[in-house]
């Protein structure tokens, strides 16, 4: 361990403070852009005449498999990413994921048959698994507590921009009268993957991983750069000391960093993280993301018209993610998840009803219902399940915990992607109320079991769950426990020098009736651990 990292002077970066933070956030969003693009690109390709002719008109099982096989690869590497992220770091895992994803995209682009396409899809899935696990971890570990939610939600917007870009690329390429109509959209992902891989050499490593790995001088340098570049900045030093104290506490406990220990000690947190990702899929989003053109064709829109409706829907989907940038750190995570579940359940039931009655108004009504559903998901169950798991898991198990939750996402993603074409033919309109039922289940789960994490520093998350670390922190009277500026203070940006905040229930943001409705279990609200002034 390095006793005094201030004696080392790692090179200061050209960008510091908010410029560095936002630049990193935008760049790593390319990682989620990639798997958003890859999820959406197949939706328009699989209905194209040249694609279907090239692959001998695949049936629903073959179509579902070529779409969903990506999730098999993503599941495998998302489980492994917990160990990989601890060994080679967050930046190294990001680089590996970008390279593997690009290779998979290239194989898909030059495919010579069904099995080559399957190889390319599962290879891309390996890259997606690494990216989808490590990007939320990296983002959470460089973000200030009072803006952590907003930055993670901006990152999710990058994912949906990727999805929307793939849909519009499919639409414009549908005017090409040869096999390039589906090969070009597949090749675009290779270009983005290469850019992401190259940029990994320019971004800093996670300061928490550096400190946890014994590279304290480098960790302090990154923290200082994120605060403005001054190694002697008191806020930067205070944050560095708090992280170092948490690392020391974890090491002195003598516990092995294994999945078994994580499950025994943090079972509740792991189950909450897994459930958030499972319901993100069971709530029905990939019925739309993967098969939107088929959904619109069921409703009466045919051929390129279905692609156009999918493109319009994707633009509204992107726009729906923007309000959450503000709301997530004002309303909190619970209110957003609960309200989103209500709107999603209602729109899915309405979609099934309009398909059931099958009247002349059905095509337009289904488009409206799907757009409302997508907007509600983009505002709620889209971004929050990617934010919540890395927030609630402790540093020593964060990579492993997030890898399990992300693997859960890809497992249920695969199940939904695989069975949807079959269920669309078997139970038809009933598919949509079925997913509406899962939305109701997710509402109940969040209402009774999910604690609020708004504004809580990562090192103090134990207090939210009422674990022993809180009492120990009180006994030790940590001088660096609270680093979050008050939401009512004038200086709320990272690097501000106001380092105290109020208990969250004293002045709820947003309409009082709305916050009161979703503010169950106030006794679980976080109270900052106060140190000596």
Query: What is the residue-wise DSSP string for 350-391?
Result: HHHHHHHH--TTHHHHHHHHHHHHHHHHHHTTTTHHHHHHHH
User: Any idea which residue has 């156009």 for tokens?
Assistant: 308
How far apart are alpha carbons 225 and 356 in whole angstroms? Answer: 58
Beta carbons within 8 Å of 316's beta carbon, 6+ residues apart: 371, 374, 375
How crowded is residue 6: how many other Cβ atoms within 10 Å of its Cβ?
14
The three-class DSSP label of residue 402 is helix
Widest distance between CA atoms in the chain: 75
How crowded is residue 338: how many other Cβ atoms within 10 Å of its Cβ?
21
Print burial letters for 265-286: b (CB count within 10 Å at least 16), e (below 16): bbeebbebbbbbbbbbbbbbbb
The DSSP-derived string for 245-297 is HHHHHHHHTT----HHHHHHHSHHHHHHHHHHHHHHHHTTHHHHHTTHHHHHH
pLDDT in tens, the chain (533 residues): 445 555 455 566 677 888 888 888 888 888 888 878 887 788 778 878 899 899 988 887 788 788 778 888 988 998 888 889 889 999 999 999 999 999 999 999 999 988 999 999 999 999 999 998 898 889 888 888 777 888 888 888 988 899 889 888 988 898 899 999 999 999 998 999 999 999 899 899 999 899 988 899 999 999 999 888 888 889 889 989 988 988 888 787 777 788 889 999 899 999 999 999 999 999 988 777 666 666 677 667 766 777 787 788 888 889 999 999 999 988 999 999 999 999 999 999 999 998 898 888 888 888 888 889 989 999 999 999 999 999 999 888 888 999 999 999 989 988 887 788 788 788 888 999 999 999 999 999 999 999 998 888 887 888 888 765 444 444 444 334 433 344 443 444 334 433 333 334 434 444 454 445 444 444 345 554 444 33
pLDDT for the residue numbered 292:
64
The DSSP-derived string for 202-247 is TSPPPHHHHHHTT-HHHHHHHHHHHHTS-TT-HHHHHHHHHHHHHH
CB 278 within 8 A of CB 408: yes
How far apart are alpha carbons 226 and 243 in whole angstroms? Answer: 15
The three-class DSSP label of residue 254 is coil
CB 250 within 8 A of CB 35: no
pLDDT for the residue numbered 4:
53
CB 73 within 8 A of CB 126: yes
How far apart are alpha carbons 347 and 165 in whole angstroms? Answer: 25
Phi-psi region of 528 (alpha: psi -120 to 50; beta: other; left: phi over 0): beta
Beta carbons within 8 Å of 388's beta carbon, 6+ residues apart: 272, 273, 276, 333, 450, 453
pLDDT for the residue numbered 47:
77
pLDDT for the residue numbered 335:
95
CB 276 within 8 A of CB 385: yes
How far apart are alpha carbons 237 and 499 in whole angstroms? Answer: 13
Phi-psi region of 57 (alpha: psi -120 to 50; beta: other; left: phi over 0): left
CB 222 within 8 A of CB 366: no
The DSSP-derived string for 512-531 is HHHHHHT---GGG-------
Burial label for 110, CB within 10 Å (0-12, 13-18, 19+), is exposed
Q: Would you say the C-alpha torsion 277, 280, 283, 284 has a positive or negative sign?
A: negative
**Closest CA relative to residue 262, chosen from 252, 250, 276:** 250
**Closest CA relative to residue 117, chosen from 24, 205, 179:** 179
CB 522 within 8 A of CB 460: no
Q: Would you say the C-alpha torsion 184, 189, 192, 193 has a positive or negative sign?
A: negative
Burial label for 441, CB within 10 Å (0-12, 13-18, 19+), is middle
DSSP annotation of 176 reads S
CB 516 within 8 A of CB 504: no
- Report in angstroms the alpha-carbon separations of 123 from 38, 83, 118, 288, 524: 12, 19, 9, 24, 43
pTM summary value: 0.74
The three-class DSSP label of residue 500 is coil
How crowded is residue 303: how many other Cβ atoms within 10 Å of its Cβ?
13
pLDDT for the residue numbered 210:
93
How far apart are alpha carbons 66 and 59 in whole angstroms? Answer: 11
């Amino acid at each position: 361990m390095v006793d005094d990292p201030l004696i080392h002077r790692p090179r200061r970066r050209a960008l510091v403070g908010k410029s560095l933070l936002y630049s990193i956030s935008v760049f790593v969003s390319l990682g989620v852009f990639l798997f958003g693009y890859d999820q959406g690109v197949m939706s328009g390709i699989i209905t194209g005449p040249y694609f279907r002719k090239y692959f001998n008109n695949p049936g629903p099982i073959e179509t579902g498999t070529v779409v969903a096989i990506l999730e098999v690869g993503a599941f495998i590497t998302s489980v492994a990413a917990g160990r990989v992220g601890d060994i080679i770091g967050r930046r190294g895992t990001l680089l590996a994921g970008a390279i593997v994803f690009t290779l998979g995209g290239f194989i898909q682009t030059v495919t010579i048959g069904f099995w080559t396409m399957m190889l390319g899809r599962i290879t891309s899935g390996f890259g997606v698994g690494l990216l989808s696990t490590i990007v939320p971890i990296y983002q959470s570990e460089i973000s200030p507590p009072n803006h952590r939610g907003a930055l993670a939600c901006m990152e999710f917007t990058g994912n949906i921009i990727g999805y929307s870009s793939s849909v519009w690329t499919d639409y414009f390429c549908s005017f090409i009268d040869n096999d390039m109509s589906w090969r070009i959209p597949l090749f675009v992902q290779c270009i983005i993957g290469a850019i992401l891989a190259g940029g990994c050499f320019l971004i800093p490593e996670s300061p928490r991983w550096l400190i946890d790995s014994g590279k304290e001088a480098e960790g302090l340098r990154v923290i200082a750069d994120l605060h403005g570049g001054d190694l002697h900045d008191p806020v930067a030093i205070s944050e560095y000391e708090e992280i170092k104290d948490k690392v020391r506490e974890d090491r002195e406990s003598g516990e092995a960093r294994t999945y078994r220990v994580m499950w025994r000690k943090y079972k509740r947190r792991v189950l909450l993280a897994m459930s958030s990702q499972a319901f993100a899929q069971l709530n029905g989003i990939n019925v739309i993301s993967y098969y939107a053109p088929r959904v619109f064709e069921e409703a009466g829109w045919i051929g390129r018209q279905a692609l156009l409706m999918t493109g319009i829907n994707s633009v509204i989907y992107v726009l729906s993610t923007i309000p959450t940038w503000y709301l997530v750190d004002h309303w909190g995570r619970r209110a957003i998840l609960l309200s989103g579940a209500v709107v999603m359940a209602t729109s899915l039931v309405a979609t099934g009803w309009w398909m059931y009655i099958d009247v002349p108004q059905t095509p337009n009504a289904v488009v409206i219902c799907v757009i409302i559903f997508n907007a509600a998901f983009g505002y709620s169950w889209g971004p929050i399940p990617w934010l919540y798991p890395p927030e609630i898991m402790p540093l020593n198990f964060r990579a492993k915990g997030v890898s399990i939750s992300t693997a859960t996402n890809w497992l249920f993603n695969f199940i939904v992607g695989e069975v949807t074409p079959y269920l669309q033919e078997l139970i038809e309109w009933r598919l949509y109320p079925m997913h509406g039922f899962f939305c109701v289940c997710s509402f109940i789960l969040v209402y009774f079991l999910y604690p609020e994490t708004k504004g809580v520093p990562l090192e103090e998350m134990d207090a939210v769950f009422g674990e022993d670390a809180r009492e120990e922190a009180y006994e030790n009277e940590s001088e660096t426990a609270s680093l979050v500026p008050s939401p009512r203070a004038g200086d709320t940006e990272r690097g501000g020098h106001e380092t105290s905040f109020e208990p969250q229930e004293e002045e709820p943001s947003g309409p009082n009736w709305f916050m009161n409705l979703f503010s169950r279990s106030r006794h679980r609200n976080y109270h900052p651990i106060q140190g000596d002034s």
